[in-house]
């Protein structure tokens, strides 16, 4: 990037191979602009999940967040266990730190997440398990939680992942405290309550393994259609985009997004990363780069795909090695903050003219 530009200039001054200098200058132009500058020209938001501890402790981490992205998602600190550690007692302090950081850096915030089966506080899961929290209580607790959290951030969050990962791979409703106690009514309720608390926020369902058409994404398609027909205020679907180079790229992603778009819904890539069995070689990194740019291109090809968010940008803090043994290297930058081929691929894809659109893509909602 900056080094590349300087190296190119030096080459030009030295008058070495003219052709090589010309080629390097072209690629230096794309890379000289930050991802956020390139994304702005395309009318799309480029985001990252943020680890707020790293943001506070690691200045290199913080400067990449600020320089490269115009949207941020709290990787963990807006989740239930952090936000409501004991019943009715809310702690928004770590999330507020991120929201303030975002405001200072002219970034928007995606809210993640109001209702999930993971990272719930013990008082809630234990209470349901021992029967001290009844179905009616649980519904009230959910209502209160959503109202408190969405109200707290009212006007500061452009998209909320209201309901996260509620379907199984076969498209049936996931077994959780929510489905056990409340059937499937909690989904519509959660959207209605979130909408009441912040009518301007765009409200999303969000899940993984729905990039390709299949049982799970078909079930989401049917679910959103049904909910919209009932007047439930749902605005969009988030495709998480946790890929693995061991599997085929979901080449029907753009097609799949298009059918949700045709329902009048926004779409987003919300948690992109591409993991690799370690150690990663050159070919792996090239394949990874192609997967990232493929996901981004699918989003750019979808009229109301409003944002493309990576689930962390550096291999230094990724969730992947802790979950998938022997895998990692899933992000745009390596552990020493050196941009990988995936970074260049994302920048190049953002820099490319979109067929049928002016270079200044304008604002997408
Ligand atoms: O990246 C998150 C990691 O730090 C947490 O330990 C983990 C707990 O389940 O959640 C990770 O984020 C997940 C996200 O909230 C929802 N989609 C899958 C993400 C990766 O597991």
Kind and range of the H or E run holding 7: helix 2-14
User: How does pLDDT run across 310-362, given as a tens digit for each residue?
Assistant: 999 999 999 999 999 999 999 999 999 999 999 999 999 999 965 544 444 44
- Write down the catalytic residue from 84, 149, 165, 211: 165
CA of 113 relative to ligand 1 center, distance in Å: 11
75 CA to centre of ligand 1 in angstroms: 7
Token digits of residue 269: 């890539």
Determine the atom of ligand 1 nearest the C-alpha atom of 240. Answer: 17
Is 271 considered catalytic here? yes
Tell me how far the alpha carbon of residue 146 lies from the centroid of ligand 1, in angstroms.
Answer: 20
193 Cβ partners below 8 Å, 6+ apart? 142, 143, 146, 147, 150
In this prediction, residue 32 has a pLDDT band, given cuts at 50, 70 and 90, of confident
State the catalytic residue, choosing from 75, 84, 149, 271: 271
State residue 15's pLDDT score: 37
Distance 239 CA to ligand 1 centre (A): 14
- List the Cα angle 187/191/197 in 5-degree steps: 145
CATH class of 16-351: alpha beta
How many angstroms separate the CA atoms of 67 and 36, rounded? 7
Quick one: pLDDT at residue 29? Answer: 47
- Asked if pLDDT for residue 56 goes beyond 70, the answer is yes
The SS3 call for residue 15 is coil
Structure-model confidence comparison of residues 26 and 316, the more confident one: 316
The rounded percent of the chain whose pLDDT value lies above 70 is: 88
Mean pLDDT of the chain: 91
**Has this prediction a pTM greater than 0.75?**
yes
What residue ranges do the domains of the chain occupy?
16-351
Which of 9, 186, 23, 41 is closest to 115 using CA atoms? 186
Enumerate residues lining ligand 1, CB below 6 A: 75-76, 118-119, 240, 271, 319
Compute the distance between CA of residue 203 and CA of residue 190 in angstroms, rounded to an integer.
10
Which atom number of ligand 1 is nearest to the Cα of residue 112?
Answer: 15
Q: Does the active-site annotation cover 169?
A: no
């Amino acid at each position: 990037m900056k080094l590349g530009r300087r190296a190119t200039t030096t080459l030009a001054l030295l008058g070495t191979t003219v052709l090589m200098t010309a080629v390097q200058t072209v690629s230096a132009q794309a890379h000289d602009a930050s991802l956020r500058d390139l994304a702005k020209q395309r009318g799309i938001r480029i985001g990252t999940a943020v680890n707020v501890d790293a943001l506070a402790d690691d200045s290199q981490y913080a400067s990449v967040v600020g320089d490269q992205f115009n949207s941020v998602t709290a990787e963990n600190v807006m989740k239930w266990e952090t936000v409501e550690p004991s019943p009715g007692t809310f702690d928004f302090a770590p999330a507020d730190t991120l929201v303030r950081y975002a405001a200072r850096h002219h970034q928007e915030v995606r809210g993640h997440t109001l209702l999930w089966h993971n990272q719930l506080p013990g008082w809630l899961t234990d209470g349901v398990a021992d029967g001290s929290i009844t179905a009616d209580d649980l519904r009230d607790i959910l209502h209160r939680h959503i109202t408190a959290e969405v109200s707290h951030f009212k006007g500061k969050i452009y998209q909320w992942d209201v309901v996260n990962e509620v379907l199984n791979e076969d498209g049936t409703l996931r077994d959780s405290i929510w489905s056990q106690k409340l059937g499937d009514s909690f989904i519509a309720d959660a959207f209605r309550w979130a909408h009441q608390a912040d009518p301007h926020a765009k409200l999303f369902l969000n899940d993984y393994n729905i990039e390709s058409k299949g049982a799970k994404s078909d079930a989401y398609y049917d679910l959103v259609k049904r909910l919209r027909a009932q007047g439930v205020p749902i605005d969009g679907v988030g495709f998480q985009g946790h890929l693995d180079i061991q599997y085929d790229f979901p080449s029907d992603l753009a097609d799949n997004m298009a059918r949700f778009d045709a329902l009048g819904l926004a779409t987003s890539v919300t948690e992109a990363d591409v993991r690799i069995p370690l150690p990663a070689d050159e070919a792996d990194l090239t394949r990874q780069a192609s997967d990232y740019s493929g996901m981004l291109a699918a989003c750019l090809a979808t009229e109301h795909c409003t944002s493309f968010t990576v689930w962390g940008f550096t291999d230094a803090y990724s969730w992947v090695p802790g979950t998938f043994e022997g895998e990692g290297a899933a992000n745009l930058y390596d552990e020493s903050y050196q941009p990988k081929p995936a970074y260049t691929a994302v920048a190049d894809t953002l820099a490319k003219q979109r067929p049928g659109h002016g270079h200044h893509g304008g604002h997408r909602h």
